[in-house]
Chain A
Amino acid sequence: MDRLASPERAPRVLPPRRLLALAVVLGVACALFVGTALAHSGSLGGSRQDLSVPQWLVLMTGGGAVGASFLLASFVTDRSFLRAVHDSERGLGSPVRPLVVIGRIGGVVGLVGVLVTGLFADPLGLTQPLRNLAVLVVWVGWWAGFSMTTYLVGDTWPVLNPWRTVASVLPSLDRSLPERVGSWPSVGLLLALVWLEVVSPVADDPTLLGAVVLAYTVFTVAGAAVFGTETWFSRVDPVSRVFAAYGRVAPLTVEDGRVRARVPGMALSEASWLSGRSDVAFVVALLWVTTYDGFVATPTWRGVVTPLVEAGVPAPLLYPLALVVGFVLFYGAYRLAARSGKRAADSLLTTDEVARRFAPSLLAIAAGYHVAHYLGYFLSLSPALLGALSNPFSPPPPLELVLPSWFGGVGLTFVLVGHVLAIWVAHTAAFELFPSRVQAIRSQYALTAVMVLYTMTSLLIVSQPAIEVPYL
């Protein structure tokens, strides 16, 4: 239903005006970004001048920028223009076979390296986290660095994934996973994985990390052997699914064995790769866990839990509780927005369908927030990672890159860029979904409100100093 009939081919809006509209969108958005970024560097650095901007103003301005970008996007109502922006793609040839083989071998070698330096950290004398290859490769190289490449470049995980490589050479029972299970297991596993990452000392204890990676290896290879690699890695394995979802944001993709390039983020207006409620829940879960990860390390969270812990609530219970409650809140807010959008557009589509069509836009937000959260971490620890990689068994003393004080503003900028991209993508998806352009615009009111609230939540986290996760 995405084709175009003749009446649309003679657009009423002239090309120069379209360009002007886009230029205005970008210009105002940039002006607002710069304002916010400066505000943040002012409050972080302090020494620049005596201009300290209160946090509420930073949050409001961020929310305002996202709201304003909805208004600006609503001026772009030419379907053929929207389609031209989103469908521009070009083929880049096939990936070279030797490169795939090298990637597979590299993935397996990496896994073995992590297992050896993790499990045998004590006998090898590698217990210091910043000199341990397993800790640095898993958290700095993979969780932060590699994740960033999946949405900034392309999802290379199906090749690198060592568990897929191992499972693919093992025999499989090919049991079928019932259809009604959908991809709910991956939602649960993703939440469980992030809970483990936050509450356990797995980030600092190489031996424990090695044990967790080993357990994950056994679990994943066994699961893939029972259900078949395709089913397992596309419906159950949370890690593969996270990277596949992030890969939808990326400029590079593989289709029928050929690499294709597209404008970053523009493929998010298309939702055919999501089927049903569980896939939507997974996207929302991905957005939530990225937030949760940052949220538990803020003074705000400490302020929330301190009275509860003092009242006798056990802290280990609060963390999974907050994880589940937050997920339910995020999912509920998103569904409510979809339902309200459907009503505002006077559409007969089901709420599920509307929720599915707009879910990919949330990935732009998740990716923007991920950069904000991890770029500084990755850059400051990358010298230590290089040190450990250059000499895994006797690494040099770890070096840490000291980032300039304005770097905090970079995070805020990425949060906003992600949200503005999400607004634009949802705008395009609405134009493809609804025959009336007025319907398309109305369907976005509630979603925009949710995104504005979400921007403010993200900014609240990113604009605070990261503290030690309390009471663990």
Chain B
Amino acid sequence: MSGSAEPTANDAVAVPEAGPFVCAHCGRPFAREAYLALHYGVDHDEPLDAERRAAFETAREEEEAALRQFRLKALLALVFTYFGFLMLWAVVNLLL
């Protein structure tokens, strides 16, 4: 894993001194605190201390909420794609 930190345009970070958040185990930087919290829980075998576990769980809940929202949009897009094509094929067959 290359540990190169590139400056990002996105600064949606709550901390005032918004530097990238760096993993204490592998040195990988993250643009958001939540990503680092998830990284500790997902990518490392080291047991989480109470603070990191709490951060992980908060980040996890927010992630779930965002995923639920995404799934709704994806479902909508699927329905549109499927019926869009169904209509398109019907119309084309009708005209030809």
Which residues on A are within 8 Å of B, measured CB to CB?
1-8, 12, 28, 32, 35, 51-54, 57, 60-61, 64, 67-68, 71-72, 74-75, 77, 79, 343, 346-350, 352-353, 434-439, 441
Contact = CB atoms under 8 A, between A and B. Distances in A.
B41 A68 contact: no
A438 B85 contact: no
A71 B74 contact: yes
A347 B31 contact: yes
A346 B92 contact: no
Contacts of A8: 41-42
A35 B82 CA distance: 12
Given A343-B8, A346-B31, 19 more contacts: A2-B43, A5-B48, A7-B41, A7-B56, A61-B85, A67-B81, A71-B77, A71-B81, A74-B70, A74-B71, A75-B74, A347-B31, A348-B8, A348-B28, A353-B1, A436-B35, A436-B38, A438-B70, A441-B67
7 contacts: A5-B40, A64-B81, A74-B70, A74-B71, A343-B10, A435-B30, A436-B59
Contacts of B41: 5, 7-8, 435
Interface of B: 1-2, 4-6, 8-10, 12, 20, 26, 28-32, 34-36, 38-45, 47-48, 56-57, 59-60, 63-64, 66-67, 70-71, 74, 77-78, 81-82, 84-85, 88-89, 92-93, 96
Nearest to A74: B74
Nearest to B42: A435
A79 B39 CA distance: 13
Contacts, number: 114
A437 B63 contact: yes
A4 B42 contact: yes
B85 A348 contact: no
A113 B45 CA distance: 57
Contact of B43 (A28, A54, A64, A435): A435
A301 B83 CA distance: 34
B42 A438 contact: no
B76 to A, nearest CB: 10
Given A51-B96, A353-B2, A435 B85 contact: no
Given A348-B8, A435-B42, A28 B64 contact: no
A77 B67 contact: yes
B70 A346 contact: no
A31 to B, nearest CB: 9
A1 B43 contact: yes
Contact of A57 (B56, B71, B92): B92
Nearest to A24: B78
Contacts of B48: 5
B39 A435 contact: yes
Contact of A350 (B2, B26, B84): B2
